[in-house]
Structure 1
């Protein structure tokens, strides 16, 4: 990374006395437009589309081809000036659409549809990783030890997920 680029998104910085400042400025705006509240057409894409529209973006797969070659796992966006690429940085999050949820770049890879593995509300974890299934009771129609054990297992699971206080 040079002093003429920002450290996270490699946005070009203006230099004092620089001629044609609009080129650096416009490049930075194009990259910001791709990454700020990004809306992704497809993830793990390998082949560029035939007729992209300005503003459309793709998360590239591990072996992209043609115009995308040499940009694995990067964000590719089509602009009036052609393809722009942004290398993902830790914590980058992009929208995959209503059925896909979010793509999160973490640990050097894109995690598709995986929000975070837990949900924090008001500083408290309320949902965590899924636990083993709870066995349904089978037996009589009256309250018995098996039913009580199942109810206790449900309560313990809810407590573990932070949905019910441990009391």
Structure 2
């Protein structure tokens, strides 16, 4: 019979708490793990902010900006998830991808949250090629519609 695996107190990537034999009140550990999974699975955030909103909805997620204050102090760059009337902070991992509802675009984590920026539409030049400009404009619109670039205002 193989030796049982000796788990740490939490998972390595997202700190999901593990259960242990004879552990009291296991439902708290399981519920915290489910809350974390619920926030991370197909993660969509409301936007980025330094402070929590006044009346957050249950399940809302936000990126904590670079100068956090109040309940979010000390959590810059984390995902703040409002679960069970409190804030649960989730540390992003390299390569993580989220959808930002405010920007209407995806962001990925690479040492910090990174957003694609829309290139400027073509302008100027000695020769005006209407077909090339239309193709570039169409490409920008397609990337915006796919959420790869933020929607232009």
Equivalent runs, 1:57-68 vs 2, <5 Å: 57-68=61-72
* 4+ runs deviating over 4 angstroms: 132-136
Equivalent position SS for 1:76: strand
Using the alignment, how far apart are the partners of 2:83 and 2:46 within structure 1?
14
Across the aligned residues of Structure 1 and Structure 2, the Cα RMSD in angstroms comes to 3.0
Equivalent position of 1:6 in the other structure: 11
Equivalent position of 1:49 in the other structure: 53
Q: TM-score, normalised by structure 2?
A: 0.70
Deviations along 1:22-65, whole A, 9 cap, x unmatched?
A: 1111101111111111111112x101111001010100111210
Equivalent position of 1:39 in the other structure: 44
* 5+ residue gaps, structure 1: 116-128, 139-146, 148-153, 155-167
Query: Do 2:47 and 2:102's aligned partners in 1 also have CA atoms closer than 8 Å?
Result: no
Larger RCO, structures 1/2 (Cα 8 Å, 6+ apart): 2
Q: TM-score, normalised by structure 1?
A: 0.65
- How many residue pairs get aligned? The number is 127
* 5+ residue gaps, structure 2: 1-6, 133-153
